[in-house]
């Protein structure tokens, strides 16, 4: 075994663990049933080997990064090939954990957000919470649901967020529904619109009204498993790794520029419910982050 190379982390606060190069450090078993982290692909970097030098490396991490060490206690770290581990990138992927900012973001600018939901609205609530804690410099101005029974409505009431129902059955076409959505969001002067579990296909009417400003959350690592049954499809396909994706919306369903992804392992015996629950937990983390990224991309928030 050669001498360990120092780990080069481009941004310590953002990086905790990487898998790269021929002498890979792999996690044996399940690192953390909640997810491996966010595969924001940056420049791959090499972890030191053998594994005992990794603990020295861990000790040298900044306080912020050490938060992640807690998450590793469930997992056993191993070195070398491990058949229980599925690295979708074939060793080229640097898996990073972008941490939420240690401090609430202080900026003059607060984004105005519109949210669309059809179901329980847990992602909507995660967005509101990120705004309330200051981890996202934004305000949810309006929630629109297409289904009067959507649980998201109850959440909006509890959270004090204005909401309204645009029942899709009352509109003659998808375009007409989207026109109504646009009219309401324009009246609320929102900067970005988030589809947080919107189970309707959207049209150019909405997409053109919010170019680069319309975000969707989907429960798979796109482009795998598009469509409404992504979690079931992942289970049926027998993949060992799935996750969620926040992306910009294009006309083709579940396509468009990826903003953030989080990978979630499929555990033995997982049901749709159990897997969905763990994917949801990651969605709640990446969705606020994706809003921030989308806003920075188009200069609505400073790059800093």
Active-site residues: which are they? 218
Q: Scan residues 254-283 and list those touching ligand GRF (CB under 6 A).
A: 280, 283
**Cβ distance 196 to 115 under 8 Å?**
yes
Nearest distance from C-beta of residue 218 to ligand GRF, angstroms: 5
- Pick the stretch among 33-41, 131-139, 161-169, 211-219 that binds ligand GRF (CB under 6 A): 211-219
3-state SS, 110-132, equals: CEEEEEEECCCCHHHHHHHHHHH
Is 35 among the residues that bind ligand GRF (CB under 6 A)? Answer: no
For ligand GRF, the closer CB: 105 or 264 = 264
Q: Which residues of 40-65 are buried (b: 16+ CB within 10 A; e: fewer)?
A: beeeebbbbbeeebbeeebeebeeeb
The pattern of x and - marking residues 226 through 245 that bind ligand GRF according to CB under 6 A reads ------------------x-
Is 219 among the residues that bind ligand GRF (CB under 6 A)? Answer: yes
Is 197 among the residues that bind ligand GRF (CB under 6 A)? Answer: yes
Is 122 among the residues that bind ligand GRF (CB under 6 A)? Answer: yes
Nearest distance from C-beta of residue 189 to ligand GRF, angstroms: 24
Query: Which of 121, 256, 265, 288 lies at the binding interface for ligand GRF (CB under 6 A)?
Result: 121
Nearest distance from C-beta of residue 119 to ligand GRF, angstroms: 4
Q: Which residue is nearest to ligand GRF (CB)?
A: 197
Is 213 among the residues that bind ligand GRF (CB under 6 A)? Answer: no
Query: Which of 5, 120, 179, 203 lies at the binding interface for ligand GRF (CB under 6 A)?
Result: 120
Query: Which of 40, 77, 142, 196 lies at the binding interface for ligand GRF (CB under 6 A)?
Result: 196
For ligand GRF, the closer CB: 219 or 288 = 219
Which positions touch ligand GRF (CB under 6 A)?
117, 119-123, 196-197, 217-219, 244, 280, 283
């Amino acid at each position: 075994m050669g001498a360990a190379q120092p780990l080069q982390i481009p941004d310590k606060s953002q990086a905790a663990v990487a898998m790269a190069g021929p002498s890979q450090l792999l996690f044996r078993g399940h690192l953390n049933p909640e997810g491996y982290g966010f595969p924001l692909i940056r420049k791959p970097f090499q972890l030191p080997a053998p594994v005992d030098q990794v603990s020295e490396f861990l000790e040298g991490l900044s306080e912020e990064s050490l938060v992640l060490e807690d998450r590793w206690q469930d997992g056993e770290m191993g070195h070398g090939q491990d058949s229980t581990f599925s690295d979708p990138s074939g060793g080229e992927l640097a898996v990073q954990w972008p941490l939420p900012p240690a401090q609430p973001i202080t900026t003059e600018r607060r984004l105005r957000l519109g949210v669309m939901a059809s179901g329980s609205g847990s992602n909507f609530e995660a967005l509101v919470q990120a705004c309330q804690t200051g981890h996202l410099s934004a305000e949810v101005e309006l929630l629109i649901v297409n289904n009067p029974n959507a649980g998201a409505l109850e959440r909006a009431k509890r959270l004090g967020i204005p909401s309204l129902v645009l029942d899709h059955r009352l509109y003659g076409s998808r375009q007409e529904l989207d026109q109504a959505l646009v009219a309401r969001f324009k009246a609320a002067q929102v900067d970005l619109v988030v589809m947080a579990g919107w189970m309707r296909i959207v049209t150019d009417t909405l997409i053109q009204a919010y170019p680069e400003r319309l975000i969707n959350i989907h429960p798979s690592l796109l482009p795998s498993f598009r469509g409404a049954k992504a979690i079931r499809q992942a289970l049926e396909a027998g993949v060992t790794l799935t996750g969620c994706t926040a992306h910009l919306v294009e006309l083709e369903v579940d396509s468009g520029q990826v903003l953030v992804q989080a990978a979630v392992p499929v555990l033995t015996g997982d049901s749709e419910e159990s897997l969905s629950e763990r994917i949801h937990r990651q969605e709640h983390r990446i969705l606020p982050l994706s809003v921030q990224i989308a806003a920075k991309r188009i200069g609505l928030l400073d790059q800093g």
